[in-house]
Amino acid sequence: MADSNAKIRIENLVKIYGKNPYPALKLFREGGTRDSILKETGKVLGIADVSFSVNQGELFVVMGLSGSGKSTLVRCINRLIAPTSGNIYVDGEDVAHVSKERMRDIRRTKMAMVFQKFGLFPHKSVLENVAYGLKVQGMGQAERDKKAQDTLEVVGLAEWSNYLPSSLSGGMQQRVGLARALATDAEILLMDEAFGALDPLIRRGMQDELMRLQAELHKTIVFISHDIQEALKIGDRVAIMKDGYIVQIGTPEELITQPADDYIQAFTQDVNRAQVLKTGTIVRQTVTVILGEDSVNAALDQMQQHELRQMYVVNRQGRPVGLVRRSDLEQAVQEGQNDISAVMERDFPQVSGSTSLEEIFHLYEKRRSLAVIDQEGKFKGVVEQSDVLASIGRLTAKSKEETAAVQDYVAATV
Amino acid sequence: MIDILTHFPNLWGELPVFLDPFQLFTIPLQEWIEGIVDFIVDNFRFIFQGISVPVRFILSSIESFFIWVPPTIMLIAIGLLAWQIAGGAIAIYSLIAMTLIGYFNAWEETMTTLSLVLTAVVLCAIIGIPLGIAAARSDRFESTIRPILDAMQTLPAFVYLVPVVMLFGTGEVPGVIVTFVFAVPPLIRLTNIGIRQVSQEVVEAALAFGSTPNQVLWEAQIPLAMPTILAGVNQSIMLALSMVVIASMIAVEGLGQMVFRGIGRLDIGLASVGGISIVLMAVMLDRITQAVGKPTQNLSWKDRGPVRLFRSLTQNQKPASST
């Protein structure tokens, strides 16, 4: 295994619809496009040589317009659609080439699926629906009912267990679909446009709910979506598909800041960049004063040297403890005060690197820059108001250069 | 025109062969079929006699039971059953219809016909539903069976009456067989359609959780196709009833025989009694079986009809006995 962390690894996956796809496959290998293959053989190219891997615990979104092959892709992973060529490794086992019996076993224990139109059994109660995967596994009635009831508790539908799905609203029905998938304890969730059929408000609620559950459960999720906002909001990484092939794979920030081509850029054009970009990606590394080591004079020297107006004070563990301004330091030097803790402002804004830009606007006041900290609370650098404004501006030709400069700066310093 | 024909009676006979190619030869289809049927009768009759054993057993058990039960008890049973399945209005209709039939002095014939129809429908269900499921699973099987079903429904019943008699003899068993041939196609078709109409996503969901094909069938497809399958059963019953008169031509007893005998003797009264009884019974069976397919209320069967009455009575007694 090249990447031991990969839960699902797809290599050179090709799907061509129809009986006897091999002439069309040959044509594709010789460089045929989707249109030329359709013209010559009448076969539809569903997936065109796709390779990627999904890591353990990752929420991986496959995004594309209808007909881009994203639903075909997710169905190949649990082989509801048989791939024409290529390999799909799940925990190192090639599910594209295992026996039917083994595939059934994998579906029962390793992967569960959530469907766009919910795919609930309309003749079974909510509880029976949630317990279905367990029933197929061969679990006894009492045990599976208990487990299904517990799972319904998790999605907040405990009181609805004896109703039929038709008496529930769309959002509630999809919670049942989600509970059915969670009940089997499968490590992999395949979600095929799971929130696509819901109202916008309900959809947002479900996205938050999914992210909350994911923070607790750390499933490996392949999430299909046609909504770029949704993809960028929930995805750890996003793959964008077009005409059966993958155009770009990257984190939401990468897709926004470094679109691979005009297609991606057109997609991300209307996206609220402040929502997607994280503070950590535009952080500016800077010099700091270390509390208890540096004197007021040393701090002032540094500031003059780097032409700074303010500096953060960190303790010996690297955590920010205060902010000093140049004017205050100059005054302190005149007064002969040499203790930094006496002149620093202890009340300063700090945010973690994973906070989106949208959430930090209100923190800017009194011309202070923001202290950005990492997961352990250590000082990573600062973000100034001008950095934020520069990064959320539209990518015009001019600002593209600026953004690239910021990126280079971050890449060089982080 | 007529003049010409009378003057030249051999005009058509003198036509050259290429204008009337049919005078060249005749395909001996009659002889072939006779030969085939004779061959089957001579060599395989024992198979058909074997088939008739279980059919005769089912038929005679049902029939002798229906005739043995006193009419009053039968009326009560029909009334309760109709009430439970189809509700009060249909129950009242059923009681009136069956009472009328009784006073028409056609009770015994009705019971005979009812048992014949029931046997044929049971046979249809046993054979037709599995064939319908097989057709839903395999496109090739579906396209093979479709012309056969078309033939079974369009071939005039009189045509296969003769070979059936040669193979099974006369009487009630061949009557059931003839009825079966005519009544089974809609059940096969509707079972096929019903299963194919089950939402693809539900089937995918069942598969995605690791169901075997049999689990998909029993957990999802059959329960969801059930209303359509029951509509097929309803159609089978209706077609079976419409075969009653034709079946009476091969000595099947019952209401059909009344009609047949009435026609033979130009006894309009006797034929009408038979015919009206058939219609009364047909409407009753239709309404009851339709109600099985689509329960009008969302109540479970425990909260409907006589069962609910019985339950509420026993529950009312409990507090009374405890005081």
pLDDT mean over A58-79:
91
For residue B28, which phi and psi values (nearest 5 degrees)?
Answer: -80, 55
For residue A320, which phi and psi values (nearest 5 degrees)?
Answer: -70, 135
Residue A129 gets the label, from left (phi > 0), alpha (psi -120 to 50) or beta, of alpha
User: With 50 as the cut, is the pLDDT of residue B322 above it?
Assistant: no
The distance of A180 to chain B (nearest Cα, Å) reads 9
User: With 60 as the cut, is the pLDDT of residue A156 above it?
Assistant: yes
Task: Determine, for residues B204 and A80 on separate chains, whether the beta-carbon distance falls below 8 Å.
Answer: yes
Q: Does B222 touch chain A (CB under 8 A)?
A: no
The answer to whether the beta carbons of residues B136 and B191 sit under 8 Å apart is yes
Task: Determine, for residues A121 and B206 on separate chains, whether the beta-carbon distance falls below 8 Å.
Answer: yes
Q: Measured between beta carbons, which residues in chain B are less than 8 angstroms from residue A80?
A: 204, 207-208
Q: Looking at chain A, which residue has its C-alpha nearest residue B220?
A: A121
The answer for residues whose C-beta is within 8 angstroms of residue B39's C-beta and 6 or more apart is none
The answer to whether the beta carbons of residues B58 and B126 sit under 8 Å apart is no
User: With 70 as the cut, is the pLDDT of residue A402 above it?
Assistant: no
Look up residue B41 and give its two tokens: 């009768």
Look up residue A384 and give its two tokens: 């100034």
The answer for residues whose C-beta is within 8 angstroms of residue A33's C-beta and 6 or more apart is none
Secondary structure (3-state) at A406:
helix
Nearest by CB to residue A105, choosing from B201, B210, B215, is B210
Judged by CB atoms within 8 Å, which residues 109-168 of A form the interface with B? 109, 111-113, 115-123, 132-133, 135-137
Interface probe for B, chosen from A104, A134, A151 (most Cβ of B below 10 Å), is A104
User: With 80 as the cut, is the pLDDT of residue A406 above it?
Assistant: no
Interface probe for A, chosen from B198, B207, B209 (most Cβ of A below 10 Å), is B209
Judged by CB atoms within 8 Å, which residues 171-210 of B form the interface with A? 199, 201-202, 204-210
The distance of A169 to chain B (nearest Cα, Å) reads 18
Query: Shortest CA distance to B126 belongs to which of B193, B65, B54?
Result: B54
Query: Shortest CA distance to B133 belongs to which of B239, B218, B207, B227?
Result: B218
Look up residue A143 and give its two tokens: 């045990």
The distance of B210 to chain A (nearest Cα, Å) reads 5
Which of the four pLDDT bands, split at 50, 70 and 90, describes residue A291?
A: confident
Q: Measured between beta carbons, which residues in chain B are less than 8 angstroms from residue A131?
A: none
Report pLDDT digits (tens) over A16-40: 988 888 888 888 888 888 888 888 8
Look up residue B152 and give its two tokens: 């079974």
Cα gap A74→A72, rounded to integer Å: 6
Percentage of chain B beyond pLDDT 90 is 56
The answer to whether the beta carbons of residues A72 and A47 sit under 8 Å apart is yes
CA distances from A8 to A70, A88, A101, A213, B179 (A): 16, 7, 20, 21, 58
Among the residue ranges A15-24, A388-397, B125-134, the one predicted with the least confidence is A388-397
DSSP string computed for A43-84: --EEEEEEEEEEETT-EEEEEE-TTSSHHHHHHHHTTSS--S
pLDDT mean over B235-262:
90
Sign of CA dihedral A10, A16, A17, A21: negative
The distance of B223 to chain A (nearest Cα, Å) reads 7
Secondary structure (3-state) at A185:
coil
Q: Measured between beta carbons, which residues in chain A are less than 8 angstroms from residue B205?
A: 113, 115, 119-121
The answer to whether the beta carbons of residues A292 and A322 sit under 8 Å apart is no
The answer for residues whose C-beta is within 8 angstroms of residue B229's C-beta and 6 or more apart is B129, B132, B187, B190, B191, B194, B222
Cα gap A197→A180, rounded to integer Å: 18
pLDDT mean over B45-54:
86
User: With 60 as the cut, is the pLDDT of residue A3 above it?
Assistant: no
Sign of CA dihedral A81, A83, A89, A94: positive
Nearest by CB to residue B204, choosing from A115, A122, A133, is A115
Specify the DSSP element, H or E, that contains A290.
strand A288-290
The distance of A317 to chain B (nearest Cα, Å) reads 50
Task: Determine, for residues A113 and B206 on separate chains, whether the beta-carbon distance falls below 8 Å.
Answer: no
ipTM of this complex prediction, to 2 decimal places: 0.75
Say what the pLDDT of residue A340 is. Answer: 78
Task: Provide the pairing of β-strand A188-192 with A111-114.
Answer: parallel
Cα gap B15→B99, rounded to integer Å: 68
Task: Determine, for residues A112 and B208 on separate chains, whether the beta-carbon distance falls below 8 Å.
Answer: yes
Nearest by CB to residue B207, choosing from A80, A135, A137, is A80
Report pLDDT digits (tens) over B261-277: 999 999 999 999 999 99
Q: Measured between beta carbons, which residues in chain B are less than 8 angstroms from residue A111?
A: 208
Task: Determine, for residues B215 and A180 on separate chains, whether the beta-carbon distance falls below 8 Å.
Answer: no
Range from A15-24, A293-302, B202-211 that averages highest in pLDDT: B202-211
Judged by CB atoms within 8 Å, which residues 165-184 of A form the interface with B? 180, 184
Among the residue ranges A102-111, B13-22, B63-72, B292-301, the one predicted with the least confidence is B292-301
Task: Determine, for residues B209 and A115 on separate chains, whether the beta-carbon distance falls below 8 Å.
Answer: no
Angle between helices B107-137 and B29-68 (to 10 degrees): 120
Task: Provide the pairing of β-strand A6-16 with A237-242.
Answer: unpaired
Q: Measured between beta carbons, which residues in chain A are less than 8 angstroms from residue B224?
A: 121-123
The distance of A150 to chain B (nearest Cα, Å) reads 19
The distance of A126 to chain B (nearest Cα, Å) reads 14
Tokens 């609910």 appear where? B308
The distance of A403 to chain B (nearest Cα, Å) reads 45
The answer for residues whose C-beta is within 8 angstroms of residue B119's C-beta and 6 or more apart is B55, B58, B59, B62, B176
Average pLDDT over chain A, rounded to whole? 85
Taking the mean position of all CA atoms in its chain, how far away is CA A8? 16
Angle between helices B268-293 and B107-137 (to 10 degrees): 40
A302 CB-side CA count, 13 A? 18
A163 or A402, higher pLDDT? A163
Which of the four pLDDT bands, split at 50, 70 and 90, describes residue A404?
A: low
Among the residue ranges A163-177, A304-318, B89-103, B207-221, the one predicted with the least confidence is A304-318
pLDDT mean over A61-85:
91
The answer for residues whose C-beta is within 8 angstroms of residue B307's C-beta and 6 or more apart is B84, B301
The answer for residues whose C-beta is within 8 angstroms of residue A24's C-beta and 6 or more apart is A16, A18, A32, A37, A40, A41, A43, A45
pLDDT mean over A96-119:
92
Please tell me the total number of residues recorded for chain A in this structure. 414
Question: If you count residue pairs, one on A and one on B, with CB atoms under 8 Å apart, how many are there?
Answer: 63
Report pLDDT digits (tens) over A226-283: 988 899 889 999 999 988 889 999 998 888 888 888 888 888 777 777 777 877 777 8
User: With 80 as the cut, is the pLDDT of residue B283 above it?
Assistant: yes
pLDDT mean over A283-303:
80
Say what the pLDDT of residue A363 is. Answer: 77
Task: Determine, for residues B209 and A78 on separate chains, whether the beta-carbon distance falls below 8 Å.
Answer: no
Q: Does A72 touch chain B (CB under 8 A)?
A: no
Q: Measured between beta carbons, which residues in chain B are less than 8 angstroms from residue A120?
A: 202, 205
User: With 60 as the cut, is the pLDDT of residue B9 above it?
Assistant: no
Task: Provide the pairing of β-strand A188-192 with A220-225.
Answer: parallel
DSSP letter (8 states) at residue A368: P
Which of the four pLDDT bands, split at 50, 70 and 90, describes residue A99?
A: very high
Task: Determine, for residues B219 and A108 on separate chains, whether the beta-carbon distance falls below 8 Å.
Answer: no
Say what the pLDDT of residue A397 is. Answer: 42
Judged by CB atoms within 8 Å, which residues 88-107 of A form the interface with B? 104-107
Strand ordering across the sheet containing A220-225: A111-114, A188-192, A220-225, A59-64, A237-242, A245-250
pLDDT mean over B146-161:
88
Q: Measured between beta carbons, which residues in chain B are less than 8 angstroms from residue A112?
A: 208-209
Interface probe for B, chosen from A113, A118, A136, A163 (most Cβ of B below 10 Å), is A136
Say what the pLDDT of residue B194 is. Answer: 95
CA distances from B202 to A118, A138, B216 (A): 8, 20, 9
